[in-house]
């Protein structure tokens, strides 16, 4: 019986790891991470059931962990949705904007971090005075 739970946990972890590493969408990466955490919880519950089947401590711990994980994932999806709506992006590479900018993107600082080609130039033609 323990082997069955551990095989399930290994399968969940493997699928989650593949999903987290192979996807570009933030939502899909978060779903992969969710599967990986679920695998750890299944393995912990299986070991707890195996070592002390008469005590409900393991079941209570699993219930608390799943509840906390659900709240954490809801907050993560809310932040991801807010970024997607504000910037119209859903790629992992764009998540760095969260650390770079705490508010709306300011395009008035052209040339400060290099020209990325994704914004309009308003009167700046490379004359060197745009610092």
pLDDT digits (tens, 9 = 90+) for 89-120: 656 666 666 666 655 555 455 444 444 444 44
26 occurs within a structural domain? yes
131 occurs within a structural domain? no
What's the pLDDT at 101? 61
Asked whether the beta carbons of 36 and 69 are under 8 A apart, the reply is no
- Better-predicted residue by pLDDT, 20 or 123: 20
Mean pLDDT of 74-86: 84
What's the pLDDT at 76? 86
77 occurs within a structural domain? yes
72 occurs within a structural domain? yes
Please report, for residues 1, 42, 56, 66, 79, the alpha-carbon distance to residue 52 in angstroms, rounded to integers and kept in the order given. 14, 15, 8, 20, 40
For residue 74, the tally of other CB atoms under 10 A from its CB is 10
As beta bridge partners, residue 91 has 25
pLDDT above 80 for 46: yes
Domain extent for 7: 2-100
What is the chain's length? 131
Q: Which of 11-20, 32-41, 115-124 has the lowest mean pLDDT?
A: 115-124
| Mean pLDDT value across the chain | 76
Q: Where are the beta strands (DSSP E) in 7-64?
A: none
Number of domains into which the chain is organized: 1
57 occurs within a structural domain? yes
Asked whether the beta carbons of 111 and 130 are under 8 A apart, the reply is yes
CA 20 to chain centre: 8
Q: Output the domain CATH number for residue 54.
A: 1.10.287.3510
């Amino acid at each position: 019986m323990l082997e069955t739970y551990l095989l399930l946990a290994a399968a969940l972890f493997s699928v989650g790891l593949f999903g987290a590493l192979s996807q570009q969408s933030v939502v899909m990466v978060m779903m992969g991470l969710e599967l990986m955490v679920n695998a750890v919880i299944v393995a912990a519950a299986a070991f707890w059931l195996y070592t002390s089947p008469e005590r409900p401590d393991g079941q209570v711990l699993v219930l608390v962990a799943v509840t906390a994980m659900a709240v954490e994932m809801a907050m993560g999806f809310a932040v991801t949705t807010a970024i997607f709506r504000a910037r119209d992006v859903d790629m992992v590479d764009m998540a760095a904007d969260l650390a770079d900018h705490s508010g709306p993107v300011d395009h008035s600082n052209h040339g400060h971090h290099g020209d990325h080609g994704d914004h309009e130039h308003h009167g700046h033609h490379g004359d060197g005075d745009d610092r």
